[in-house]
Each structure stands twice: as structure tokens, then as C-alpha cells.
Amino acid sequence: GIASVFAGHPLDTIKTRLQAGQGYGNTLKCVLTVYRNESLAGFFKGMSFPMASIGIYSSVVFGVFSNTQRLLSQLHHGDPAAAPSLADLTLASVVAGVISVGIGTPVELVKTRLQMQTQSYTKANLKLNSTVPGSPVYRGPIHCLRTILQKEGLPGVYRGNVAMLLRDVPGYCAYFIPYAMFCDWITPHGSISPNAFSIWVAGGVAGAISWAVSTPMDVVKSRLQADGVYLNQYKGTLDCMLQSYQNEGLKVFCRGLMVNTVRGFPSSAAMFLGYELSLKAMKRCQTETNP
């Protein structure tokens, strides 16, 4: 999980700026603007909170998916280790997507707020309750979370949860199902389990597909969660969708599509490879301990 965050966060910052920011133009212009104004550190804004929480988040999501899949296989085939059907994979993905929102929304909110804060926090140039775009607002992730709680309460911490639900449920279906299919397709005939290369490729392809599917609602999520750093523009998910469409047309929902797709491959490849290899290592240790 940590490897996937580190590999994907710089592009995630570019994606968020393209989706929720103003004046960045295309991807290359956004990269150059961030580097020119904020140096390399600008690409890693808001990374500490996802890094600290990714272990819990990933273990819950993968655990819920795997256990739901095993439960469905037990119910339908009488064997939890039986190959799941497409319907079982879909239902397990939906459950994982729903559960992920409860854990992921506060993390995504803090990450997005910090990514959209274009200056470092310094007491010397911070005016009380400053809302001027570009002015520093948050000292770091804990200060950001505490500030949101104080100003907006618990509902503020879960701002954008509906958009995240609409993003993550289809997104996880397009994540786990292609992964299972590609693993099965590229695993050498006669092998009991896929090799590391098969896992890496399948995970990367699944990540790219998932983010391509998720991008339209990811735009809405980013805009809702970035809203509030300096201004309050949107009343909710539907209002954000309508305002975005009225102002920029349908193309607005494809903002960050290329970045999301490119970022999805290495981060998801690292995630699935780490997950599968960790499982194999733990099973091997268990076998050696309890022969």
C-alpha cells in the first residue's frame, strides 16, 4: 500500500489540480506550473496522511473483498476455495466499494485539501480566517482534519462521500473483475497460481481500467472536497455536477483521465503484487510453523 501511494501520489496531485483547480490547462502545463511555483515538494503535498492510513485502508478493502468472495463461494458451491462466478466477483466488489467509502472519505478529503493549498503554512503570512486563494490555510494533515471538524463538524469530514460512493462502487467492480480475468488469462496453463509477472501485469491493467471508469465521478469528488479550502461553491453532488456541466460542458468529466489511467498502472501493479506475495509468504510461514 505504501509503495502504491509513493508511486502514484505525484500524478495524483496533478490529477487533483487539473480536476479542481483553475488555470492549469493541460497535463504538461500543470506539471510545469507546480514545479515552477512549488518545486518537487509540490508533487508530494498531502501524501503523509494516505501513507499513514493506506495499510488499514487496503487491508480492509482487500479483506472485505476476499472474505465476501469466499462466503459467496461457500454458499453457492459449498467450497470457499471454489472459483467465484462473475456475479460473485461483482457482488464482492460492490461490498468492498461501499465499505471503502467509510474509511477513505476523510483521508481523501485531507489529501485533496492539502494538494489544493498552493502555499506552505507560515504564521507570519497567515491572516486570521484568511480565504484568499493561494494563502496558506493548513499546517499539515492533523491541523487540516482538526480545522474541518471545528468549522464543519463530522458531516464536513465526510464531504464528498456520495460522489466517492458513485466513484468507488463501479470503480472496484472495474478493479477486481479485470484483475481476476487477466490473471486467469495470462497465467501459464497448468500453474496452480499466477506468477509475479502475471500479477504485476494484471494488477496494472486492472488499475488503468478502474481509474478510466472512475474518472467522471472522481472529478466531482475532487471538486466537492477541494471546495471549502478558500470558497464554498457547491451545495452537494448533484449541484457540483450541474454547475460543472453548465460551465464547461461534458468534457469536464474527463479531466485528469490520462493522468488517472497512467497513474493507475504502476500504483495498482504494486498494490496487487504486494498483496499476493504477502499472502503467499504468510501461508508458507504458516505451513512451516504448523506442518
Secondary structure of 162-208 as H, E, C letters? HHHHHHHHHHHHHHHHHHHHHHHHHCCCCCCCCCHHHHHHHHHHHHH
Q: Are 29 and 260 in contact (CB under 8 A)?
A: no
Q: Are 186 and 201 in contact (CB under 8 A)?
A: yes
pTM of the predicted model, to two decimals?
Answer: 0.83
**Which stretches in the chain have pLDDT values below 70?**
118-136, 190, 230, 288-291
Cell output for 32: 510545469
Q: Where are the domains of the chain?
A: 46-157, 159-290
Q: Is 37 exposed, middle or buried, given 0-12, 13-18 or 19+ CB atoms closer than 10 A?
A: exposed
Q: Match 449541484 to its residue by C-alpha cell.
A: 239
117 phi/psi in degrees, rounded to 5: -80, 110
CATH 1.50.40.10 matches 159-290: yes
Cα distance between residue 215 and residue 221, in whole Å:
10
Query: Residue 253 has what pLDDT?
Result: 95
Q: Which residues of 156-195 are buried (b: 16+ CB within 10 A; e: fewer)?
A: bebbbbbbbbbbbbbbbbbbbbbbbebbeeebeeeeeebe
CA distances in angstroms from 35 to 22, 96, 118, 125, 220, listed in the order given: 16, 36, 11, 22, 25
DSSP 126: P
Query: Residue 270 has what pLDDT?
Result: 86
Query: Residue 122 has what pLDDT?
Result: 45
Query: Residue 128 has what pLDDT?
Result: 37
